[in-house]
Amino acid sequence: FAFSPSALPAMGRATGRTSALALSMNDDPVLRLGTRGSPLALAQAYETRRRLAEAFPEELGKDGEKVQINIINTSGDMRLDKALAEIGGKGLFTKELDVALLGDEVDFCVHSMKDVPTFLPDNTHLETMLPREDTRDAFICPKYDKIEDMPEGTVVGSASLRRQAQLLAKNPGLKVINFRGNVQTRLRKLDDEVVDATLLAMAGLIRMDMTDCVTKTLEWDEMLPAVAQGAIGIQVKSDDEKTIKYISALNHDETKICVECERSFLATLDGSCKTPIAGQAKIIDGKIHFRGLVSSPDGSKVFRAENVGEIKDHLEIGRSAGTQIREEAGEQFFADLMEYVQDIQAANTKPTKASA
């Protein structure tokens, strides 16, 4: 069930840090798209190009042949031996894309929004969110049907402190080890019994038509997803009116509102891949409903907040939930959390309990 870049149409390749990938060898593209090179990132890039072609067939070509796809190799993709918390968090997946955008190598960048830091470089912004995919996590385990069924010592692969904390809160006897790489690599390791189970985002599995591997889709009560999970965001230079004209036409208002609510929660907590933070917003009956949590890495302490309000107040709803948790947990909890992260020497060990 693997999605392979080799299955894509023939592509051109340029030298240097970026590799130009295009459905045609057109030397004069109207738009240059920047993306990571993983199979999932390429699937998202091709979805973006398809949507642009549907919106502007005369200007960009009915197959999007005037939109050139450029692969940017990122630090996060190249350093797979360490957990993200050890090497700097989610910005490692976007830093080189930022450089390419500001250096006029590309006109816009396509991101998995859960990888995007809360603060972007000056003169750039997130112009558009595409319609959101399923935000839930998938539990994948050949041996057991539920997280609670796994016996003590069962090895679960995950590089996410958010998933680790919620797993250990439900089943403290598990051994959670660092488990990075693209979706195909992680599933291969599962097949090779390097681990007994893993968790992946449903959105990525759906986008690559790989849902056959899912043991169970986890509802929010079982595993609250990451902030912005399932959303594709498009970053542009703030003064690039030509690109903004095209990109803004793709925006899905409901997705953008919910993701902005979630990211305001994250920003209030100074969150990143270094910290076990989860948050989800949903519009129901004309109101925005938000749920968030922060946990100690071992799951022994979990602080939750829920908030409902008017859609126009979506940023404040996220902020107030973050403030509520910050006050309830206390600044010492967050100081201890950051100390834990800084003291991590190896990801392949079960965390010790955070201090009070």
Q: Tell me which residues are annotated as active site.
A: 115
**What does the alpha-carbon distance between residue 142 and residue 146 come to, in Å, rounded to a whole number?**
11
Q: Answer yes or no: are the C-beta atoms of 23 and 65 closer than 8 Å.
A: yes
Buried/exposed 297-335: b ≥16 CB within 10 Å, e otherwise: bbbebbbebebeeeeeebeebbbbbbebbbeebeeebbe
Q: Answer yes or no: are the C-beta atoms of 225 and 280 closer than 8 Å.
A: yes
